[in-house]
Amino acid sequence: MKIGKYEINLINSGYFGLDGGAMFGIIPKPLWQKTNPSDDANRIKLATRNLLLQNGNRKILVDTGMGNKWDEKSINIYDIKQDDFSLTNELNEFNIKPEDITDVILTHLHFDHTGGSTVLENNKLIPAFPNAKYYVQKKNYEWAANPSDKDKGSYIKDNFVPLFKEGVLHFIEGEQNFDDEVSFVIINGHTFSQQMLKLSDSSNTFLYCGDLFPTASHIPLPYIMGYDIQPLVTLDEKKRILNKAAEENWKLIFEHDPDFCSATVIKTEKGFKVNEKFKSL
């Protein structure tokens, strides 16, 4: 799939599981389990779907999945299903080595979005993509470095502080254009200053949704995660984005949906719903 000068591809760097109740907030289980069945620990299956943008030698990766720094206990808690070097292996399929990645854009610094940004080598945490500039919103980094007691479990400093110390982490402040095709849309309900990526050219618009719409099941307005630190802000953000997406026929890309990578949406008398779901771009 082409957007302007970029060839765009999706990379699934693995699967993990989170509690279905936490993923769907106030929604009763009999409703969410129809589309997202849970295992015996009440976890639903989630993907870590990353975005790859290529234009010649410029190779941009968006989010880095869970990474490979997990101990056995956490692998069991989060039901992490990936091989040791999943992201690297997936990039290999495109003939891309870690040193070929020129840019890593991070939507936010939760462990399932930036886990693969650093690796442990000779007992030292180093950037996993040695030649890449990494980008995150400055306010998200500040929050991640000093989160609340509610959300500190989601921010693991080994995944991002080493990037700052190595001088490869670049701060972006607010909504702005990255280049002609890529711009950032800031949302603050899930955490502070998450940046979604809007990719557009004259014919298509894609929105890489991060954790605003983790799966296709999260399109209806009250389906808001228990993890969100400002759920009513998420509600307003969902309305704003869904109105635009329905009006302008955007394709929403889901980072965590285990089955569908993207969807279009429509506005009906009963609210917003998925129009068409896609398994590939």
Smallest gap, in angstroms, from Cβ of residue 178 to Zn ion? Answer: 20
Determine the interface stretch with Zn ion among 10-18, 77-85, 108-116, 239-247 (rule: CB under 5 A).
108-116
Give the phi and the psi of residue 227 in degrees, each rounded to 5.
-70, -25
Smallest gap, in angstroms, from Cβ of residue 208 to Zn ion? Answer: 13
256 binds Zn ion (CB under 5 A): no
Task: Decide: 52 and 61 in contact? Cβ < 8 Å.
Answer: yes
Instruction: Name the residue nearer to Zn ion (CB basis): 59 or 108.
Output: 108
Kindly identify the residues of this chain, within the stretch 152-191, that bind Zn ion according to CB under 5 A: none
Rounded Cα–Cα distance for residues 174 and 185 (Å)? 8
Mapping DSSP to helix (H, G, I), strand (E, B) and coil, where does residue 172 land? strand
Instruction: Name the residue nearer to Zn ion (CB basis): 17 or 98.
Output: 17
Tokens 């190779």 sit on residue: 59
Which pairing describes strands 194-200 and 133-137: parallel, antiparallel, or unpaired?
unpaired
Q: Which of 43, 110, 218, 238 binds Zn ion (CB under 5 A)?
A: 110
Determine the interface stretch with Zn ion among 34-42, 105-113, 138-146, 248-256 (rule: CB under 5 A).
105-113
Residue at shortest CB range from Zn ion: 110
Give the phi and the psi of residue 196 in degrees, each rounded to 5.
-90, 155
Tokens 């995660």 sit on residue: 225
Instruction: Name the residue nearer to Zn ion (CB basis): 181 or 211.
Output: 211
Per this entry, what is the length of the chain? 281
Determine the interface stretch with Zn ion among 73-81, 87-95, 102-110, 114-122 (rule: CB under 5 A).
102-110
Mapping DSSP to helix (H, G, I), strand (E, B) and coil, where does residue 139 land? helix
Instruction: Name the residue nearer to Zn ion (CB basis): 126 or 233.
Output: 233
257 binds Zn ion (CB under 5 A): no
Determine the interface stretch with Zn ion among 107-115, 133-141, 164-172, 261-269 (rule: CB under 5 A).
107-115
Residue count, binding to Zn ion (CB under 5 A)? 2
Instruction: Name the residue nearer to Zn ion (CB basis): 90 or 211.
Output: 211
Which helix (H) or strand (E) segment is 158 a member of?
none
Strand order in the sheet with 133-137: 2-3, 6-19, 43-55, 58-62, 103-105, 133-137, 169-172
> And the tokens for 79?
């039901």
Q: Which of 211, 228, 237, 257 binds Zn ion (CB under 5 A)?
A: 211
Instruction: Name the residue nearer to Zn ion (CB basis): 110 or 139.
Output: 110
Instruction: Name the residue nearer to Zn ion (CB basis): 110 or 251.
Output: 110
Rounded Cα–Cα distance for residues 14 and 109 (Å)? 18
Rounded Cα–Cα distance for residues 153 and 155 (Å)? 6
Determine the interface stretch with Zn ion among 2-10, 21-29, 104-112, 263-271 (rule: CB under 5 A).
104-112
Task: Decide: 222 and 25 in contact? Cβ < 8 Å.
Answer: yes
Tokens 């979005």 sit on residue: 113
Instruction: Name the residue nearer to Zn ion (CB basis): 206 or 227.
Output: 227
**What is the binding site for Zn ion (CB under 5 A)?**
110, 211
